[in-house]
């Protein structure tokens, strides 16, 4: 059982040139199951199988548009925390009003697009503080489905990493709680973002598992050492013969 894994620390000793030992603290990230399933029934079955060791569940547009607040309340009743991944993106007033509409739901994390701009993010941060004080507001930077060519086609000519860094910096200047990024961007963002910024990353594949459509991946342990606070994992757990065992193996890996 690894229920309070977020507050566990791994202490790693590393030898310096002069023979001194330095102790580096590495956070053990929490696992978020991406509940990408075809029906509410399937969601319920799966959550009953994963048991207490799973604390966080990510609900995306597909499931929320199909099942609505009922699904959120069902997950809450099963004792899980909810990451509502709606990636809100609109004019500032509409984003704030959308958050207002969500504010009576038991949501632990919510995503907005940082490319909506600084004014929109400030409004969302303020709305969060006023109406959803227990919800961690996360800014999505560049979607992992966008590569250099796709960015170029929407008028962004610099490297992807620069755009991710620019958006993340702007977002954290508005006091947003965290950032969603690819694991390959973790080290770069950790080098300059405020230390208390939470970083959530999908694109996680345990060693030897099927990549599916994910291209820029890391193993759970690599993402942990690169500075992730939360790992979003879907298919490696959803498609496993025994989802509880698959989750347990991942928890063992990051706690070892
Ligand atoms: O099945 P898999 O582990 O690839 O699931 C990853 C989850 O994270 C999916 O719900 C996917 O939509 C989401 N996601 C992603 N890349 C992003 C943002 C979200 O894979 N940049």
16 within some domain: no
Three-state SS across 119-151? Answer: HHHHHHHHHHHHHCCCCEEEEECCCCCCCHHHH
Mean predicted confidence (pLDDT) in 19-42: 83
3 within some domain: no
CB-ligand 1 contact for 212 (6 Å cutoff): yes
197 within some domain: yes
pLDDT of amino acid 122 = 98
- pLDDT band for 20, please (50, 70, 90 cuts): low
Mean pLDDT is lowest, of 7-16, 113-122, 154-163, for: 7-16
Kindly state the percentage of the chain with pLDDT values over 70. Answer: 91
Are 76 and 101 a contacting pair, CB within 8 Å? no
Q: How far is the CA of 24 from the centre of ligand 1 (A)?
A: 30
Domain limits for position 219: 27-255
87 in active site: yes
**Residue (of 47, 56, 46) closest to 2 by Cα position:** 56
20 within some domain: no
151 within some domain: yes
Report the C-alpha gap between 193 and 201 in whole angstroms. 15
- pLDDT band for 180, please (50, 70, 90 cuts): very high
- Tally of structural domains, the chain: 1
Nearest CA residue ID for atom 13, ligand 1 = 202
206 within some domain: yes
- pLDDT band for 5, please (50, 70, 90 cuts): very low
pLDDT tens per residue across span 216-247: 789 999 999 999 999 999 999 999 999 999 99
Are 236 and 207 a contacting pair, CB within 8 Å? no
Nearest CA residue ID for atom 19, ligand 1 = 202
Which listed residue (87, 97, 184, 241) is catalytic?
Answer: 87
pLDDT of amino acid 210 = 84
pLDDT of amino acid 215 = 74
pLDDT of amino acid 24 = 59
148 within some domain: yes
The preferred substitution site among 184, 186, 203 for testing ligand 1, maximizing ligand atoms within 8 Å of CB, is: 203
185 within some domain: yes
Q: How far is the CA of 23 from the centre of ligand 1 (A)?
A: 33
Mean predicted confidence (pLDDT) in 202-208: 92
Mean predicted confidence (pLDDT) in 166-177: 98
- We report the CATH number of the domain holding residue 48 as 3.20.20.70
């Amino acid at each position: 059982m690894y229920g309070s894994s977020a507050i566990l620390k791994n202490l790693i000793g590393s030898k310096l040139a002069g023979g001194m030992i330095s102790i580096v603290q590495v956070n053990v990230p929490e696992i978020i199951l991406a509940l990408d399933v075809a029906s509410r029934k399937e969601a319920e079955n799966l959550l009953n199988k994963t048991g207490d060791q799973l604390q966080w569940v990510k609900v995306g547009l597909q499931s929320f548009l199909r099942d609505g607040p009922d699904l959120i309340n069902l997950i809450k009743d099963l004792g899980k925390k909810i990451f509502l991944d709606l990636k809100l993106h609109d004019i500032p007033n509409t984003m704030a009003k959308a958050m207002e509409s969500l504010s009576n739901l038991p949501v632990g994390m919510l995503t907005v697009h940082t490319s909506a701009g600084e004014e929109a993010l400030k409004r969302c941060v303020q709305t969060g503080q006023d109406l959803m004080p227990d919800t961690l507001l996360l800014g999505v930077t560049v979607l992992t489905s966008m590569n250099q060519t796709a960015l170029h086609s929407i008028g962004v000519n610099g490297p992807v990493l620069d755009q991710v860094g620019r958006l993340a910096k702007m977002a954290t200047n508005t006091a947003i709680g965290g950032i969603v990024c690819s694991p390959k961007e973790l080290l770069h963002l950790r080098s300059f973002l405020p230390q208390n910024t939470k970083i959530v990353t999908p694109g996680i594949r345990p060693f030897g598992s099927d990549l599916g459509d994910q291209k820029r991946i890391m193993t759970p342990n690599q993402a942990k050492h690169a500075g992730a606070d939360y790992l979003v994992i879907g298919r490696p757990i959803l498609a496993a013969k025994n989802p509880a065992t698959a989750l347990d193996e991942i928890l063992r890996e990051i706690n070892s």
